[in-house]
């Protein structure tokens, strides 16, 4: 789930630095890409101006994941309680 702020930051990042941050690559990285065919993918958290926004986004995602796990565990516990009664 992407928030408006993180979505806007990601769009700004892509506009400034390219789809995967190609404009952030150093000369060494470009040479390595040509030699080995490997390249680094950058994301907004690699740039100081977007680091805080990305951190908040991941923290909110962590909270949502925790809530979903709690709901799942509760549902499974309730299902276990009544499981054998499904065949009566």
Q: How far apart are CA 48 and CA 53, in angstroms?
A: 10
Rg of the Cα trace of the chain? 22
Q: What is the pLDDT of residues 13-62, one digit of tens each?
A: 999 998 888 889 889 888 888 888 888 889 888 888 888 888 888 999 99
What is the pTM (predicted TM-score) of this model? 0.58
Q: In this structure, what token pair is assigned to residue 22?
A: 């190609």
Buried b (16+ CB within 10 A) or exposed e, 71-81: eeeeeeeeeee
């Amino acid at each position: 789930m992407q928030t408006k702020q993180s979505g806007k930051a990601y769009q700004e990042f892509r506009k400034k630095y390219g789809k995967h941050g190609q404009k952030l690559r150093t000369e060494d990285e470009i040479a390595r890409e040509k030699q080995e065919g490997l390249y680094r993918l950058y994301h907004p958290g690699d740039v100081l101006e977007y680091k805080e926004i990305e951190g908040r986004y991941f923290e909110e995602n962590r909270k949502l994941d925790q809530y979903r796990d709690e709901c799942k565990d509760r549902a499974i516990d309730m299902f276990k309680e009544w499981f054998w009664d499904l065949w009566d």
